[in-house]
Amino acid sequence: MMAGMRAPAGATATAGLMNAAGASIGTAAFTQGPTGVLVQIEATGLTPGWHGVHIHATGQCAAPFTSAGGHVNHHDPKAPHGLLNAGGPDDGDMPNIYAGADGVVKAQIFTPLVRLAGEGPGQPLLDADGSSIVIHANADDQTSQPIGGAGDRVACGVVAEG
């Protein structure tokens, strides 16, 4: 996408999710809307219960997924983590996702804090160093620093156009 262009509503991106062993466990699909991005996550093989999920600043997913960097947070690098934090949220924050007893997650999350590319509100996911989506081992409490007690990174996917 050319600089200065707004990401058109309906533009898409995808991320193939893999676990720390390198096995494919699902996908995350990103659809640009006029005021943010809809993220649809389908994954298997997670431990039952709540899991934190965040958008990370670098498009790399080498286990244990620290290569994904910190959360996307370009608008204010000092903004604290947490959807319930009075000073937050940071741009990579999203609500938790839930894995059923069978380890399956199917979720849709809308975030106004990011965009796929171009100009407009939110941080661009398809910028020069890319971005990734990371699923954590535990629930995010949405307030404590630095990641709300979400624990280890258990799955990761690089966000790619299309």
Beta partners for residue 32, in sequence order: 37
Q: What is the pLDDT of residue 76?
A: 66
The domain 12-161 belongs to what CATH superfamily? Superoxide dismutase, copper/zinc binding domain (2.60.40.200)
pLDDT confidence of residue 51? 97
The yes-or-no verdict on residue 2 having pLDDT over 50 is: no
Number of H helices, E strands in the chain: 0, 12
Q: Are 80 and 145 in contact (CB under 8 A)?
A: yes
Rounded average pLDDT over 147-157: 87
**Greater model confidence, 53 or 83:** 53
Res 153: pLDDT: 94
CB 63 within 8 A of CB 57: no
Global pTM value: 0.89
The pLDDT tens digits for 79-121 are 777 787 777 788 888 999 999 999 999 999 999 989 998 877 7
Mark 6-36 as b/e (b = at least 16 C-beta within 10 Å): ebeeebebebebbbeeeeebbebebbbeeeb
Whether residue 46 is predicted with pLDDT greater than 80 in this model: the reply is yes
How many residues does this entry show for the chain?
A: 162
Q: Is the pLDDT of residue 125 over 50?
A: yes
pLDDT over 50 at 1, yes or no:
no
pLDDT for res 6: 52
CA 33 to chain centre: 16
Dist CA 105 CA 29 (whole Å): 13
Q: What are phi and psi of 67, to 5 degrees?
A: -65, -15
Place of tokens 């999710």: 17
Domain ranges of the chain: 12-161
Least confident of 9-23, 51-65, 74-88, 112-126: 74-88
Q: What is the mean pLDDT of the chain?
A: 88
Which residue, 134, 135, 115, is CA-closest to 125? 115
Task: Check residues 40 and 144 and name the one with the higher pLDDT.
Answer: 40
